Each structure stands twice: as C-alpha cells, then as structure tokens.
Amino acid sequence: MSFESAEALLTEARDLTDARLAARASLLRRSPGGRDGEALAYALGTAGKRVRPALVLASYRAAGGRSPGIGGIAAAVEIVHTYSLVHDDLPCMDDDDQRRGRPTTHMEYDVATATRVGFVMVPVAVEELADGAAELGLDTARLGRMAGILLEASGIRGMVGGQWLDLEAEGRTLDLSELVEIHRRKTGALIEAACVIGALAAGGDPAMVATLTAYGREIGVAFQIADDLLDATATTEQLGKTAGRDATLEKATYVSVLGQEAARQEALRHAEAARSALADGGVRSDALLTLAGYIVQRRS
C-alpha cells in the first residue's frame, strides 16, 4: 500500500473516531457539565492524525473483524491518548501552550481544570470502551481483559511511568537501553495496546494476539523516534505544537543520543522489525504494513 493508502486508512479511522468523540463530548457537556464539561469537550475536540485508532482498526480487521462498532474501541484508545497530551502539556510537565494547532487545555481554561480533565478522561475512556464492546457483542470477560490492557498502558507501567522517567532524564546523558525503556513506556505502551485491543475485539486467537503485540511493540518505538526527529527538524506550523521543545528542555531523545541520521536509521529498523513480526506470525495485513511505513515517514 502507498502513502496515499495510509492517508485513506487514517481518514476512515478519523471519521469513525471523531463521530464517537463528538457524541461523548456532547454527553460530557451535560454531565458533569459546567466548566469541567466544556473543558472535557474542548480537549476531545482537538484534531489529530488518529494513528492509534487506525492501528485499532487495522488490527481488528487483520484478526477478522468487520463491524463499524469498532469505532467505540478506537475512540476509547484515543481518549486515553488525549488525557496523556493534556497532562503532558501542563506547566509541571513539558509546559507547552499549543497542541494540535490551538491553545492547550490549561491555556484555554486553567491548570487546575486541565489537571481534572486529564484524570476524568480515564474513566470516560472506560465508558467508551464498554459502549463499543456492547455494540460488538463482546462478553464481560473480553471487555475486562481489554480494559485491563488499556489501563495498564495508561498507568505506572506504561505512559505515566514513561513520563516520570522522561522528566527525570532531562539534562542527563542516557545510554540507548535507558532511552528505549522511556520510549517503550511513554509512547510505545499505548500503541502496543491499540494493536492488542483491536485483535481481542475481533476474537483473535493467542497466536494472532502475540503477533500483533510484537508488531505494536516495535512500531511504538519507531513512532517515538519519528517524533524526536520531527521535533528537531519540523516547524511549529507543521507540527501543530511548539517545535524544538526537546532541545529547550534538554530531553534525552534519539536525536540527542545518536544524532539525526542514526536516529532515522533506528526508526526504519524498528519499522522493519514490526513488518517482520507480521511475517513471522503469518499475519497478512496491507494496512498494518503501510502504517509501519507511514509512521516513520510522516511529516507531522
């Protein structure tokens, strides 16, 4: 599949996910309502590439799923991702005032409101996951397993732990193994979870789940390396957020540790490892193959 095919898949995933996010935002404006409800709706209303929903969709189809009800599962993953962005931008974290081309939630409202918004989004994501699972006719055991994977990816063994390590690493020189650990948790954990949850939603067998776990683990690291490169080489207008923040904050990144060209080669290596995982597991999916290419070649 071509780069254009990746864009078509992302557009499909975006349409499915954005419809669910808009419906959820409407509910949140009524309950909890008020300023918090508006802030939650604002955060959910940001436009994004929707790579994680696309991975949910592609993994679901690779495992044999066909129902449009997968949109609810994809939206749940995107809500968790949005929570991480809201908190990542706070002054006590990366202190950024722009995200996805508009003011961050704490700039539009205030720090206390944005902090609450991030926390509340986690149970909101579980509600969306449960609604999506009901549409797909999944039993409570399957829903429980999917919820456990999503919450673990969002917590101390995933994004929270990765962010913690990332903040502690500012201004320090890391070796490559330490850097990989940050990347696998801060960014890679949710990307891996998106692939696994998609497979589980389709009733994928253990071999299918194992294959997509391996694919997701590699492509998650590739995604963060590509982010490191974009922060160093793209403009604020291209990124929709402040470019060059990694250098300003003296963050440990693949670019700071290896340099741009070696980082680019590492991203390609991880993308190729993701493709190899599919081949080794006997999983045929043009969509997952083309997403692997898109993730390391994207321009924003």
Report all structural domains of the chain as residue ranges with CATH numbers, in order of start: 3-297 (1.10.600.10)
pLDDT in tens, 77-100: 999 999 999 999 999 888 888 887
Q: Which amino acid is at 240?
A: G
pLDDT in tens, 158-188: 999 988 898 888 888 888 888 889 989 999 9
The whole-model pTM stands at: 0.94
All residues at 6 or more sequence positions from 260 whose CB lies less than 8 Å from its CB, including other chains: 229, 232, 233
Mean of the per-residue pLDDT values of the chain: 92
For 196, the enclosing helix (H) or strand (E) is helix 189-201
Over residues 9-14, mean pLDDT: 95
- The rounded Cα 186 to chain-centroid distance in angstroms is 10
If phi over 0 gives left and psi between -120 and 50 gives alpha, with beta otherwise, what is residue 243? beta
pLDDT in tens, 34-63: 999 999 999 999 888 999 999 999 999 999
Beta strands in 21-162 (DSSP E): 98-99, 102-103
Nearest to 253 by CA among 229, 220, 217, 222: 229
